[in-house]
């Protein structure tokens, strides 16, 4: 046990940064362990609650805060995210509310608008502005480090969005705060902005300080974003960074058993190289997402509606389980076998999952084992059973006509 403890508490400076390929297969750096626990943690006492974040409970039912409020679940609030290269935030914008120009130095943001409408935009390094008007269900990419904003132009309706980041700590640099609240000389600011010192002082007086943290880093691509071959860059606009395939998903009838709807590299090419993606998971009563792995990324699951029983098995074969309520989050470390199950016999459940990779992949354990032609004798030996039992399992998994 002592050696396990030593392995697991090695801080993140020991993480090996593998070389990063920015073309089709963007991959995030690996930690050398299943997860990283805070120092002095006694591993034998670790259970599912370490991998659970309850700080978002009730957030969708709470009254709209004035202007804008961002509630983060990064490794600061949720230490289990350390080394997992994924985090989330909920953004609430009151009617007329604005999330002033800012950048996230450590991560691309994938914004998923759950309610209302939103004007969004970012500026690339050629100073080209990309804008879009989002409806509920739309997603928009804000490439890493680029200055961006969100504005709720609707005078009557609150806008609510879930943002996924491909880093455990996306960082946050407010442009107004950076310029006007970090002690840059008034004269320099006045000259930079071609105005006078009185105007600068007036701006400073009006700003309230608003800043999150900035540290930890995922690998970089060498460009703001990657476009498909033969794209005419001059014609590129906000539409390329928008994914509309999720519109209406929260209003659609619950599919039988389980359905996962992905917005990854394949469905949403703008994610290429951005190390982030999202999926919506819908469970009918008693629906199950059977044991599977995500070979290329940790999953951060956010239960939006209903309850879910979840679990994963680490490489020491220890099972971590948790009963999640709406508003809870749970971490499934990269590559480990995990499942979700809606134990409720009457109510459906819905979750949004964020991944720290544009292409997290999914390997279903039942399918991989029993539906890919592995010799039945081999399976029978592996499971210490007989061929008839394997055939029975296979028949049960086969699509029903």
In the complex, the residues that contact ligand NAG under the rule CB under 6 A are 154-156, 232, 234-235
**Least distance to ligand NAG from the beta carbon of 19, Å?**
32
**Least distance to ligand NAG from the beta carbon of 234, Å?**
4
CB-nearer residue toward ligand NAG: 158 or 321: 158
CB-nearer residue toward ligand NAG: 39 or 232: 232
**Least distance to ligand NAG from the beta carbon of 155, Å?**
5
**Least distance to ligand NAG from the beta carbon of 116, Å?**
11
CB-nearer residue toward ligand NAG: 1 or 233: 233
Contact between 294 and 260 (Cβ < 8 Å):
no
* Distance (Å, whole) CA 274 – CA 109: 8
CB-nearer residue toward ligand NAG: 234 or 401: 234
CB-nearer residue toward ligand NAG: 19 or 234: 234
CB-nearer residue toward ligand NAG: 235 or 251: 235
**Least distance to ligand NAG from the beta carbon of 156, Å?**
4
**Least distance to ligand NAG from the beta carbon of 151, Å?**
14
């Amino acid at each position: 046990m002592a050696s396990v403890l030593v392995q697991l508490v090695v801080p993140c400076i020991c993480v090996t940064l593998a070389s990063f390929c920015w073309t089709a297969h963007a991959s995030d750096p690996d930690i050398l362990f299943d997860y990283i626990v805070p120092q002095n943690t006694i591993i034998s006492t670790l259970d599912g609650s370490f991998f659970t974040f309850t700080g978002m409970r009730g957030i969708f039912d709470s009254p709209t805060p004035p202007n804008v409020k961002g509630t983060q679940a990064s490794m600061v609030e949720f230490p289990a995210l350390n080394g997992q290269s994924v985090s989330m935030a909920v953004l609430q914008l009151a009617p007329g509310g604005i999330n002033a120009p800012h950048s996230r130095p450590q991560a691309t943001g994938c914004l998923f608008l759950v309610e209302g409408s939103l004007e969004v935009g970012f500026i690339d390094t050629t100073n080209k502005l990309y804008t879009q008007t989002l409806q509920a269900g739309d997603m928009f990419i804000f490439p890493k480090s680029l200055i961006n904003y969100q504005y709720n132009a609707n005078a009557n309706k609150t806008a609510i969005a879930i943002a996924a980041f491909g880093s455990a700590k996306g960082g946050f640099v407010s442009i107004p705060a950076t310029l006007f609240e970090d002690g840059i000389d008034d004269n320099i600011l006045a000259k930079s902005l071609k105005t006078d010192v009185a105007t600068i002082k007036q701006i400073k007086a009006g700003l309230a300080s608003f800043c999150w943290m900035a540290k930890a880093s995922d690998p970089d691509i060498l460009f703001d974003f990657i476009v498909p071959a033969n794209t005419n860059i001059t014609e590129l606009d906000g539409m390329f960074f928008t994914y509309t395939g999720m519109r209406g998903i929260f209003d659609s009838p619950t599919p039988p058993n389980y359905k996962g709807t992905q917005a990854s590299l394949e469905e949403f090419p703008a994610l290429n190289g951005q190390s982030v993606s999202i999926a919506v998971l819908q469970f009918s009563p008693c629906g199950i997402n059977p044991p599977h792995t995500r070979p290329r990324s940790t999953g951060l699951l956010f239960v939006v509606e209903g309850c879910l029983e979840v679990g994963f098995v680490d490489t020491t074969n220890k099972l971590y389980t948790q009963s999640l309520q709406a508003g809870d989050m749970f971490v499934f470390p990269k590559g480990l076998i995990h499942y979700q199950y809606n134990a409720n016999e009457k109510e459906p459940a819905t979750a949004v999952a964020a991944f720290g990779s544009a292409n997290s992949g999914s390997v279903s354990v039942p399918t991989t084992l029993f539906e890919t032609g592995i010799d039945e004798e081999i399976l029978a030996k592996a499971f210490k059973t007989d061929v008839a039992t394997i055939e029975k399992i296979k028949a049960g998994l086969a699509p029903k006509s």
